[in-house]
Amino acid sequence: MLPFIRSDLAKLTAYTHPGGNAGKPVTATAVDRLDTNESPDDLPSEVKEKLAWTYQQLIETNRYPDGGHEALKSAIAEYVNESLQDAWITPANISVGNGSDELIRSLLIATCLGGVGSILVANPTFSMYGILAQTLGIPVVTVGRSPAFEIGVAAAQLAIEQTEDPPIRVVFVVHPNSPTGNALTTSELTWLRSLPKQILVVIDEAYFEFSQTTVVSELLQRPNWIVLRTFSKAFRLAAHRVGYAIAIPELIKVLEKIRLPYNLTTFSQVAALVALQQRTLLLGSIPQLLTERAKLSHALGLHPALQVYNSAANFIYLRLKDTDCQEESNYLSSLNQQLRASGTLVRQINGGLRITVGSQEENLRTLQRLQAALDKMGK
Ligand SMILES: *Cc1c(COP(=O)(O)O)cnc(C)c1O
């Protein structure tokens, strides 16, 4: 360890792409990448052409990007308002990040840095909250979930009451949760509403376009809530790294203070703008994806060895039935390895597998390859 580096960073390792593709050149390999919940579809070529034209004709590469993201924030506000009765969202309610990851880090900096706060997460959930907190030296308090993956609200409440030094300042939830796919229930929402004003509630709606459930309509009454969304999933723009936060203007102003001045490239801003303009086209494939999800889920559920959970997102979580923990983790690892060897990448996580719903062909291969792997293991 270099002597000038913070000693607590020694035990952390760099985040790598779960499929192991990090750092490798982007080539078209015959691999089904069902491990990161991206859309199976690239942007349609007519949309790419429009982007390319914009790049050629309108972007001056010698100029810094629009650091205020004005056009993009207006377009996002308009989009978010479509799901609201009273359309009260304005650009002042929006902050844009280099992926939602940047927004998560900004929120951690704004609330907990310098030993003033801890965060609370209910596992299994999105790993990035904990990873980013650790890089900032922020303590992470974890609680569990029920067999149906509802947050252990009693344990969470107790943790909030008993954690001092530093106290819990932020609760992170995903709606619907990753990797398990369940949306927040009425009782979970009731608990979140009961949290005191000095605790920030971050509701990550990365999969909103698939679930069509959102808490945005409540934000006006809840100054301690913030919603995160992303262009990386349903909008097919994972390559461009664009996420956004929705909250009251006072909270948005804080995020704007913390972010890097030019956190988004001009090209990424234009890509997100074009995606929003073309949203009818891009989001038009979601019903088909949901049909694919139902088919895949049903077919997986027919296998006697698999426990398949309902999902409100574009992935399916499953576990092995009737195995003890040790056995299960061995089986899961070998299942995962065999899937990988046959060309399907999935995510092994918290004692289960999370499989992204892909194209029709990919989903058929997932079923065949999983079946073959289970057969081989005598399951
Ligand atoms: C995929 C995902 C994101 C998206 O992160 P970006 O940095 O915007 O790509 C955010 N939150 C959750 C829970 C996710 O699964």
Q: In the predicted model, is pLDDT for residue 340 greater than 50?
A: yes
Ligand 1 pocket test: which of 17, 173, 177, 178 has the largest number of ligand atoms within 8 Å of its C-beta?
178
Q: In the predicted model, is pLDDT for residue 26 greater than 80?
A: no
Q: In the predicted model, is pLDDT for residue 332 greater than 50?
A: yes
Reported pTM: 0.95
Instruction: Say yes or no: CB of residue 237 within 6 Å of ligand 1.
Output: no
What is the distance in A from the centroid of ligand 1 to the CA of 369?
Answer: 27
Instruction: Say yes or no: CB of residue 206 within 6 Å of ligand 1.
Output: yes
Ligand 1 nearest-atom number relative to CA 174: 13
Distance of CA 195 to the CA centre of its chain: 23
Mean pLDDT over each residue of the chain, to the nearest integer: 94
Ligand 1 nearest-atom number relative to CA 102: 7
**Rounded Cα gap, residues 240 and 98, in angstroms:** 8
**Rounded Cα gap, residues 236 and 117, in angstroms:** 35
The pLDDT, as a whole number, for residue 17 is 64
pLDDT digit string, tens, across residues 199-209: 999 999 999 99
What is the distance in A from the centroid of ligand 1 to the CA of 1?
Answer: 31
Ligand 1 nearest-atom number relative to CA 230: 8
Q: Are 222 and 214 contacting, i.e. CB atoms less than 8 angstroms apart?
A: no
The pLDDT, as a whole number, for residue 22 is 43
The pLDDT, as a whole number, for residue 18 is 60
Task: Tell me the two tokens of residue 158.
Answer: 């107790």
What is the distance in A from the centroid of ligand 1 to the CA of 243?
Answer: 8
The pLDDT, as a whole number, for residue 361 is 97
**CA-closest residue to ligand 1 atom 6:** 99
Q: Residue 212: what residue type?
A: Q
In the sheet with 168-174, reading across from the earlier edge strand, the strands are 94-97, 243-246, 225-230, 200-204, 168-174, 118-122, 140-143
The pLDDT, as a whole number, for residue 19 is 55
**CA-closest residue to ligand 1 atom 2:** 206
**Rounded Cα gap, residues 182 and 213, in angstroms:** 11
The pLDDT, as a whole number, for residue 16 is 74
Instruction: Say yes or no: CB of residue 243 within 6 Å of ligand 1.
Output: yes
pLDDT digit string, tens, across residues 166-175: 999 999 999 9
**Rounded Cα gap, residues 363 and 52, in angstroms:** 31
Q: In the predicted model, is pLDDT for residue 23 greater than 50?
A: no
Least confident window among 31-45, 318-332, 347-361: 318-332
Least confident window among 62-76, 175-189, 324-338: 324-338
Task: Tell me the two tokens of residue 156.
Answer: 């969470």
Name the more confident of 114 and 29. 114
Domains and CATH numbers, the chain: 7-43+285-376 (3.90.1150.10), 64-281 (3.40.640.10)
Q: Are 111 and 200 contacting, i.e. CB atoms less than 8 angstroms apart?
A: yes
What is the distance in A from the centroid of ligand 1 to the CA of 377?
Answer: 34
Q: In the predicted model, is pLDDT for residue 327 greater than 80?
A: no
Instruction: Say yes or no: CB of residue 232 within 6 Å of ligand 1.
Output: yes
Instruction: Say yes or no: CB of residue 99 within 6 Å of ligand 1.
Output: yes
Tell me the pLDDT band of 325, cut-offs 50, 70 and 90: low
Residue 88 falls in which region: left (phi positive, over 0), alpha (psi -120 to 50) or beta: alpha
Ligand 1 nearest-atom number relative to CA 36: 1
Instruction: Say yes or no: CB of residue 177 within 6 Å of ligand 1.
Output: no
> What is the SS3 assignment for 314?
coil
The pLDDT, as a whole number, for residue 324 is 66
**Rounded Cα gap, residues 242 and 226, in angstroms:** 17
Instruction: Say yes or no: CB of residue 306 within 6 Å of ligand 1.
Output: no
- Enumerate residues 6+ apart whose C-beta is below 8 A from 373: 334, 335, 338, 339, 342
Ligand 1 nearest-atom number relative to CA 97: 8
Ligand 1 pocket test: which of 204, 244, 268, 347 has the largest number of ligand atoms within 8 Å of its C-beta?
204
State the average pLDDT over residues 125-144. 97
**CA-closest residue to ligand 1 atom 5:** 100
Least confident window among 36-50, 180-194, 326-340: 326-340
Least confident window among 12-21, 79-88, 279-288: 12-21
Ligand 1 nearest-atom number relative to CA 238: 9
Instruction: Say yes or no: CB of residue 176 within 6 Å of ligand 1.
Output: no
**CA-closest residue to ligand 1 atom 13:** 126
